[in-house]
Amino acid sequence: MWRLRWRRHRYRRQGRGDALASCWEAPLPKPRQPWHQQGYLVCDAEMSSLELEQGELLSLGWVAIDAGRIALSSATHCLIAAQDTVGQSAGIHQIRDCDLRQAGSEADAIEQLCLAARGRVLVFHHAPLDLAYLDRASQRCFAAPLLLPYIDTLALERQTLARQEGGPRPGQLTLAGSRQRYGLPDYPAHNALTDALATAELLLAIASHRGGVDRNGNCQPATLADLLRVR
């Protein structure tokens, strides 16, 4: 966590009293604690392109996990007004230009996300893409990247499958493919909130399979460190 603290310190000098600064004031998580003692915010983003330089955020969805349970009352879905047409990406996420005419701003969405994330660990399936867009939005709004601890369920599954002969096969690391290995039901893909809920269920399944056994043969839950990634 020291790298995260150091990077935050560099940006704190700007002294902006905003939602991100408030988020940073919360204590950082304790990696050695059992995973279910930590709160999480499971997030997903839909964008107009997989290329950051060409795309825009179109929607964000998130849901909290507390005490190892998904808090459905926290489920949130934000549509974000685009500066350009969504183009052919509408065929993937089904968000049309007309759906965004009354949408909120990127700044409003990222502020809501920061308020919801205070004291929590972020969770994504394929974090690099979502975080690239979220960090850019945070830079625009707060003049700093998010710099929050996070879990990447895709990276955890890649790590698990790498131990198998031949490694991951095509399609195995998708959200749907990862869920199938744990017997989780199929969900429609490419809606930010649905994908966030699907990722939350996947995280619970992964965590339950990552526990260990102590010297006395007693089952021990996975720790946060077993799941965590820090930039």
pLDDT at site 90:
80
d(CA 24, CA 50): 28
Secondary structure percentages of the chain, helix, strand, coil, to 5: 40, 20, 40
pLDDT band at residue 17 using 50, 70 and 90 as cut-offs: low
- Three-state secondary-structure class, residue 46: strand
Q: Give yes or no for residue 231 having a pLDDT over 50.
A: no
Q: Give per-residue pLDDT as tens, 130-182.
A: 999 999 999 999 999 999 999 999 999 999 998 877 788 889 999 999 999 99
Q: Which domains does the chain have, with CATH numbers?
A: 18-26+33-226 (3.30.420.10)
